[in-house]
Amino acid sequence: MTTTRFAPSPTGYIHVGNLRTALMNFLIARKAGGTFILRIDDTDPERSKEAYVDAIKQDLEWLGLTWDRVERQSERFDRYAEAADKLREIGRFYEAFETPTELDLKRKKQLNMGKPPVYDRAALSLSDADKDALRAERGNGVWRFKLDQERIEWTDGILGDISIDAASVSDPVLIRGDGQVLYTIASVVDDTDMGVTHVVRGSDHVTNTATQIQIMAALGHGHPEFAHHSLLTGPQGEALSKRLGTLALRDLREAGVKPMALLSLMARLGSSDPVELRTDMAELIEGFDITRFGSAPTKFDAEDLYPLTARYLQTLPLAAVTTELDAIGVPADQQDTFWAVAKENITTLKDLEGWWILCRDGAEPLIADEDKDFIAEAMALLPEGPYDSESWGKWTAEVKEKTGRKGKGLFMPLRKAVTGMERGPDMSALLSLMQVVRARG
């Protein structure tokens, strides 16, 4: 069975970059009728917060990215310890004691010599007595996985054939000196134990993938199918990482972005397919194809979400927005007409209130100097409300007959005087909703 996972760290709110990974894994699992696991990467007790776990679930639920089960890495330390013991038994795990300063000096020396800044495995030559002395002086060391220094190859679902020389990569640290288990080994153990068949993640993980393939093999396992999507940039190609704090999913939700607008964009962004609004998850699942995505950095502009949100809102029936209409005070008997008028002229549901205030309280007239006499004459012909769907037509016909104005010279000044705007909804429907026309004086 196809099994995928999304493994966020509960150290902050998830943002659009995280969403890209979550969505791709979700769509692969759902299209294949498989399993989608939400795996909470909470091995760091200092930074992991339960409030962020709850927030991650809320954001995924808002988007409709339902999971089949939740796993927590903090409940699996015994399994990580077993894997570490096995690596020690087969001679693939060793303790190293260099300080960060010492490692930095080694890297600088290697670079000056024109060599890749790879850990020199000095710790492998330490005797037991050396290790005891270093532990007494510095505390426990880190545990590094000893890579086989050969080429690591796999066919990536997005990048194609990948080949990485393990000799150009440092033996990865899997357990810190304080005992904290790091992502590299925890993810390996989880993916193999949970039967994960496909892993989609950012291209910044390619080297991690190479080392994890070797770790999996050392533990006696094959590896999932890997695909590494491109990283998002800002609209001008700038690093998005500096702006991610403003692109948290909860911030986009608060700004009025609708789930299907966000999902429609993220399910196609960076692929060879055009972005098209989808109005339900089934369409999104059916149309997803990981092989259509490219490796080039992908530009993301949050402003693109708002036209998609506007188009999505236009598809909604009245029943989907009655709560919002009730909240701003639209009478039940006017909601159908009001929604028909407003939905074509809003970007988010937050814009509804402005249109209702216009209908309820009227607008400050917008009258050009050359139209003052014309508007005064026209307003004298406008009866007091209430108005209906025929009021605009009857009024403008009478004004045309009395003043001789027609076309744009007739309708534009009247629209501006009534609504305070140069453009907007059909005036027949809008006037029927207006309780006050301030230009009447």
Q: Do the beta carbons of residue 229 and residue 20 sit within 8 Å?
A: yes
Coil vs helix vs strand at 196:
coil
Of residues 353, 351, 375, 253, the one with CA closest to residue 305: 253
Tokens of 248: 């948290």
DSSP at 94: E
The pairing of strands 93-96 and 142-145 is antiparallel
Cis bond upstream, residue 386 (ω within 30): yes
Backbone phi and psi for residue 120, each to the nearest 5 degrees, phi listed first: -85, 5
Distance CA 223, CA 327 (A): 53
SS3 readout for 312-370: HHHCCCHHHCHHHHHHCCCCHHHHHHHHHHHHHHCCCHHHHHHHHHHHHHCCCCCCCHH
242 appears as a binding residue in the annotation = yes
How much helix, strand and coil, in percent to the nearest 5, is found in the chain? Answer: 50, 15, 35
Rg (CA), the chain: 31
Write the single-letter amino acid at 66: T
Q: Any residues with CB less than 8 A from the CB of 345 and at least 6 apart, and which?
A: 351, 355, 424, 425
Of 346, 348, 343, 354, nearest to 319 by C-alpha is 343
Tokens of 237: 């190609």
Show binding-site residues.
242
Show binding-site residues for ATP.
242
